[in-house]
Chains A and B, each alone.
Chain A
Amino acid sequence: MIITRDQGTKAITILTVAVAIIAPFLSDNLYLLNLLSLMLICIIFASAWNLLAYSGQGSLGHAAFFGIGAYASTLIATASGITPYFTIFLGAGVAAFIGILIGLTCVRLKEWFLAMVTFGFAIIVQTLTVSILAPMTGGWDGISSPRLLSPSIPGYQFIEYYSILLITIATIIVIWYIMRSRLGLAFSAIRENELEARASGIDPVRYRLIAFGLSAYIAGVAGALQIHHIGYITPEIYSVDLSFWPVTYVIFGGLGTLAGPIVGTIALTIIWDGLKMAGITFARYVIVGILLILVIIFLPKGLVSLPDRLKEWWERRNDTAPPKTGRR
């Protein structure tokens, strides 16, 4: 099952890109611009998580790599004075390196043992940040992080927004390329049937490590981008909540598809901030939670599969012929 169907995927990607480019022109609203920037960063983060899931591994501690990328990039940029546009990729390298190390302990584990280890890993990293590494990281108080662009540049918000958009598109193209390459084939082979993958000469351990490294790298890019965008970093970045968000985005959009994280993030952001504007605070978690449970039960392939499901339903309604077997 290779889900990357080019036509639909392309269309959705192009649509997304168009919306993302047009949106800021529609208003001079800086709040909206900031929201869109954070949404794009979430798309990168969710795509990173999705890539790991594509190889059949589930992580509940991706905030660890998000945070490591952010801290590493901040510390490198502060110490050296190099522009954050460059240190983002160095910081993500640190995240990838640590990701491969933790991957080494994980690759032989079953999928939910792995979820446990990654969850715990985020907590361990947070503890290290506020104890042993506190002289560097500022402990619980956090440290300020160099902005992507100096606020003295006129219209810097717009330039910042477009550079984030550019990095997002580049990331998605890279992931698309990975999924279509031999590497992606190997990932899905391991996910579908490890024994058969082994029989056809794929080393599962090696490819799982590669997936871990790539996913941690991209998550690190997202974390560094967000922190350089906000301008401040605290150990809250390792919170359980942040580890769960990419999971939620991806299952809402569609697990294992290229468009899934994009659609899921955009749709949930709209719902989320719409509810916030309506003045709903705690209840929005409950509403989104119930919505997600309904999606898991009734639409296990996510929102991306909705058009197909509707079409199928429509054809079955109009067809007197017996329905095709195998609803799922």
Chain B
Amino acid sequence: MVDIGILLQILFWGIYAGCIYILLATGLNLIFGVMKIVNFAHGEFLMIGAYITATIFLISGINPYVIILLAMLALIGIGAVVERLCFRPILGSGKLNEIFLSIELIYIFQNGAAMVWGDEWQSVKSPYEGIAVPFGSLNLPLDYIIIMVVTAAILAALFIFLQKTRIGREMRATSQNRKGAMLVGINVERMDVLSFGIGCALAAAAGTLWVVSGQVFNPYMGSIPAVKAFAIIILGGLGSIPGAIIGGLLYGIAENAAAYFLGGVWKDAISFIILIVVLVFRPTGLFGESGE
């Protein structure tokens, strides 16, 4: 019989892993909602974010949880450039073209990063490493708790931005009906740049959290989390941010459970098994409508 403590541990680690997926999936959802594009290179933004944080942290020693803001700002810029140069020219020319383009972006970013930072696995020690908070029979690492709090704060800020500000409302209008938004005078191309930038910033936040949790990283780390994030938004429903949150948590927990019960190699496979099983029975995803 499995110990209840171990189950709690799996749950806790799953929620922590889910935080990174939630940030990635939410960003993808935002981009997909507004621009209707499929960007498989989203994980590369996570990787760049991770490296920016690690580099600034190693040089300056600033608390990495503060650097998260710098990394997000930097990635808004990079995202805007990528959107402007690569995705806007092919907007509306078909999903396959977008997938091809993102594959080439993956090559460029991964190997560009390898040229700058080298292709070895690296890791960074968080200032709070080793501090644990006792919780019942468990000792929870302080870093993981901060990561959960930071994720919740970022999501709350995004929610307020989308609901309460004018730009946020314009963005939601664009995602609901692009032509209608154009007709009422919203600059949809600006919304494209903005949503792409914010999506990338969320990926950078995920990358920063990846680094501070003490996980190893290298230039090739991003592609599989990104595809999993896509699996999450397919399951959770395209364009639905609550769906992305639920899906992200589900994936985090399922992966950790699979790694514990079946062995570490199953960690990646389990996410795709879930995806395929769901799609066999519901070709549009768990909560999906037959939209795009």
Contact = CB atoms under 8 A, between A and B. Distances in A.
B275 A117 contact: yes
Given A251-B100, A293-B86, A285 B110 contact: yes
A244 interface: yes
A115 interface: yes
Given A282-B115, A286-B112, A296-B104, A127 B283 contact: no
Contact of B269 (A110, A123, A297): A123
B104 A289 contact: yes
A109 B115 CA distance: 38
A262 to B, nearest CB: 18
Is chain A's interface secondary structure helix, strand, loop, or mixed overall? helix
B231 A247 contact: no
B68 to A, nearest CB: 27
B100 A247 contact: yes
B41 to A, nearest CB: 10
Contacts of B227: 116, 119-120
Contacts of A105: 276, 279-280
B279 A53 contact: no
B223 A240 contact: yes
B100 A289 contact: no
A124 B262 CA distance: 13
B134 interface: no
Interface of A: 53, 58, 60, 105, 108-113, 115-117, 119-121, 123-124, 126-128, 130-131, 240, 244, 247-248, 251, 255, 282-286, 288-290, 292-293, 296-297, 300
A113 B292 CA distance: 11
Is chain B's interface secondary structure helix, strand, loop, or mixed overall? helix
Contacts of A119: 227, 272
In this complex, the interface size class of chain B, counting residues with CB under 8 Å from chain A, is: 35 or more
Contact of B111 (A110, A130, A285): A285
Given A111-B96, A113-B283, A300-B97, A120 B272 contact: yes
A292 B104 contact: yes
B108 A289 contact: yes
6 contacts: A112-B96, A247-B100, A285-B110, A289-B104, A293-B101, A296-B104
- For the complex of A and B, the 3 pairs showing the least CB-CB separation, nearest first, are A120-B272, A285-B111, A127-B269
B95 interface: yes
Contact of A282 (B114, B223, B231, B271): B114
A123 B268 contact: yes
B95 A283 contact: no
Contacts of B86: 293, 297
Contacts of A131: 262-263, 265-266
Given A58-B96, A127-B266, A282-B115, A248 B104 contact: yes
Contacts of B269: 120, 123-124, 126-128
B230 A116 contact: yes
Given A248-B103, A248-B104, A288-B107, A112 B95 contact: yes
A244 B281 CA distance: 28
B130 interface: no
B115 A283 contact: yes
A53 B96 contact: yes
A20 B99 CA distance: 32
B156 interface: no
Contacts of B292: 110
A117 B266 CA distance: 16
B24 to A, nearest CB: 14
B138 interface: no
B104 A112 contact: no
Contacts of B110: 285
B115 A286 contact: yes
A111 B96 CA distance: 7
B118 to A, nearest CB: 9
Contacts of B283: 108-109, 113
Given A120-B231, A127-B269, A300-B93, A244 B108 contact: no
